[in-house]
Amino acid sequence: MLDDLFALAQAKPVMPSDDLMARILADADAVQVAAPAPTQSIWAGFFDIIGGWPSVGGLAMAGVTGVWFGIAPPATVTTFAADLIGTDVTVDLLADSSSYFAETLTDG
Amino acid sequence: MNAFMGSWRDAPDDAVLVAYASGDGSAAQVLSQRLVPRVLAQAKRMLADRAEAEDVAQEAMMRLWKIAPDWRQGEAQVSTWLYRVVANLCTDRLRKRRSLSLDDIAEPADPQKSAVAQMLETSRLTALADALAQLPDRQAQAVSLRHLEGLSNPEIATIMDISLRSVESLTARGKRALTDILAGRRAELGYEDE
């Protein structure tokens, strides 16, 4: 009798209904949406923290501008610094060394 | 969608599961089409109740979706994991069913069969599920995996995470207990003259 019951249970075909499949796929979508985003790189996380690529562009522009102001400051900046600090100091880093190199080359 | 599903056709279950966890939109459909029929069939064979089996199938698949981000590819088989989850969910329900009457878990009629044949078949399947409900959980799981799912003892040992000797012991004791439980219902189930 028991083997007959086992055989009967095994013989019964069971196919999932469309409704069951729809419910299961809806669950899958809900869990997938709720799950945290896949792990990202350290750089991607850093860029997100500072505001993304637009912020990185702004930082780069500010850096270039600062370097340019250091090399060739506009007159208004020099005047403003003199007014603020009360003195105006100009340091020429290249003049002497240029002539030194010129002499060395001439003598050599 | 079909083009995406075709790309997963030959991929192992765990690879598709990892793709699902990574956000692949078609992976869930591929896994559902592969796994739900077997999950539902296992639950239906243990519970002899379509509605309950569908609930178990949905719950088992929900657990699969939730565990997907933590799934370590290559370490375990999705099918093995699902056999275990479904067996556990079914024995939970069988345990709760012990206090219910058989009428509460009657199977809806199949219009293709005569009323008498349908009633007899339903009675037999329900009697089997009812008898399984009276076994200790581990025995019910081992017996159902061996005699309803047709799995080998080594497969059952892997699914239940026990030794081969334990599988043999559980299935033997479970089968003897089932025979004893059902012995008093032979006439009722139409086996009296065999």
**Yes or no, beta carbons of A14 and B44 under 8 Å apart:** yes
Say whether residue A52 is in contact with chain B using an 8 A CB cutoff.
no
Say whether residue A27 is in contact with chain B using an 8 A CB cutoff.
yes
Say whether residue A1 is in contact with chain B using an 8 A CB cutoff.
yes
B144-168 confidence digits (pLDDT tens):
999 999 999 999 999 999 999 999 9
State both tokens at B81: 């994991």
What domains can you pick out in chain B, each with its CATH number? 2-183 (1.20.140.160)
A37-85 confidence digits (pLDDT tens):
555 555 555 555 666 666 666 777 777 777 777 777 777 766 776 777 7
d(CA B106, CA B123): 8
**Yes or no, beta carbons of B128 and A16 under 8 Å apart:** no
Identify the segments of chain B with pLDDT beneath 50.
1, 3
pLDDT for A79: 74
- Selecting from A8, A9, A16 the residue whose C-beta is nearest the C-beta of B36 gives A16
Q: How confident is the model at residue A108 (pLDDT cuts 50, 70, 90)?
A: very low
Task: Tell me: pLDDT of A107 over 70.
Answer: no
CA angle B96, B99, B104 (to 5 degrees): 90
Distance of CA A26 to the CA centre of its chain: 34
pLDDT for B187: 78
pLDDT for A54: 65
Interface test with B, best of A3, A14, A19, A23 (most B CBs within 10 A): A14
- Residues in chain B, total: 194
d(CA A34, CA B137): 34
Say whether residue B21 is in contact with chain A using an 8 A CB cutoff.
yes
- Selecting from A2, A9, A12 the residue whose C-beta is nearest the C-beta of B182 gives A2
- Chain B partners of A28 at a C-beta cutoff of 8 Å? 20, 28, 31-32, 61, 65
Indicate the domain borders of chain A.
2-34, 43-107
Q: Which of A2, A10, A47 is nearest to B150 (CA)?
A: A10
Closest Cα in chain B, distance from residue A69 (Å):
48
pLDDT for A97: 53
Interface test with B, best of A5, A17, A18, A19 (most B CBs within 10 A): A5
Q: What percent of chain A has pLDDT over 90?
A: 12
Residues 6 or more apart whose CB falls under 8 angstroms from that of B38 comprise: B79, B82
pLDDT for B100: 59
